[in-house]
Amino acid sequence: MGKPAGYWVNKIRTSFKGGSSSSKSSEDGSASGSRKSDSKHRKNQRTEEGNKNAEAGVAQAESGRKVMVVVDTTSQSKNALQWALTHCVQDEDNITLLHVTKTPIGQGADETQRERNSRAHEQVHPLKNLCQLKKPNVKTEIVVVETAEEKGKAIVEESKKQEAGVLVLGQRKRTSKWRVIWKWRTKAGMGGGVVEYCIHNSDCMAIAVRKKSNNGGYLITTKRHKDFWLLA
């Protein structure tokens, strides 16, 4: 059964928020009515000041959190970004759109890396526009990484380099054939796909997002939850 959006959002946010503390005090002895009233007034002032300090501490801890979303030109990538903007990104956060490309071999090698990076930025720039539309107060940047290694490894390394607080990836619907291949690769010690590698090797919380058809919400996968159904 699916959980309402607020349930999962609170689950995620508690991973980054600091806790607040409260103090208990007791009054001994007896006094006149006026002295009790004055003591109660001072106590309320101290409580209000403590709450303000706790809230300030939480706000300071949350400030500057980096939400990294792996993007490309697929619908899965856009769906994951839309989920992050709605359920994950807060006004104090920064968004990094990470686009990983493979180093070309053969004909593509004639193009310079600068030209390839420029083309890659153009491909994902509409997603940056989407971020600025949905979250105008949140800073958004595009990072393009070209690698000859496996994409999963490059994503994990870049998330560490950028000190990301959370990593969001789009996920395709698994076909029966894909599930059989994935289980075989896992048993053979070859590992799964890019998303599975990032979930199990990232230092920060990695979240795989797949949108269900017909507005059926999202399926969320983390290291602790697999295909967790989140109502939109």
Write out pLDDT tens, residues 53-88: 433 333 333 456 899 999 999 999 999 999 999 999
Which tokens hold the place of 130? 């989407």
For the whole prediction, is pTM greater than 0.75? no
Per-residue model confidence (pLDDT) at position 56:
36
Share of the chain above pLDDT 90, in %: 46
Q: Is the pLDDT of residue 45 over 60?
A: no
Phi/psi at 103 (5° precision) = -65, 120
Q: What is the DSSP letter of 217?
A: -
Residue 96: closest CA among 141, 159, 146: 141
Residue 127 tokens, joined:
């997603």
Classified as helix, coil or strand, 191 is coil
Are 226 and 210 spatial neighbours (Cβ–Cβ below 8 Å)? no
Q: d(Cα 229, Cα 221) in Å, to the nearest integer?
A: 9
Condensed to tens digits (0 to 9), the pLDDT of residues 139-195 reads 999 999 999 989 999 999 999 999 999 999 998 876 555 455 555 555 544 456 899
- Does domain 63-230 correspond to CATH entry 3.40.50.620? yes
Tokens of 116: 């390839």
**In Å, how far are 34, 47, 51 from 41, measured between CA atoms?**
11, 10, 16
In 3D space, the residue among 50, 78, 61, 59 whose CA is nearest the CA of residue 170 turns out to be 78
State the Cα angle at 218 between 128 and 14, rounded to 5°: 80
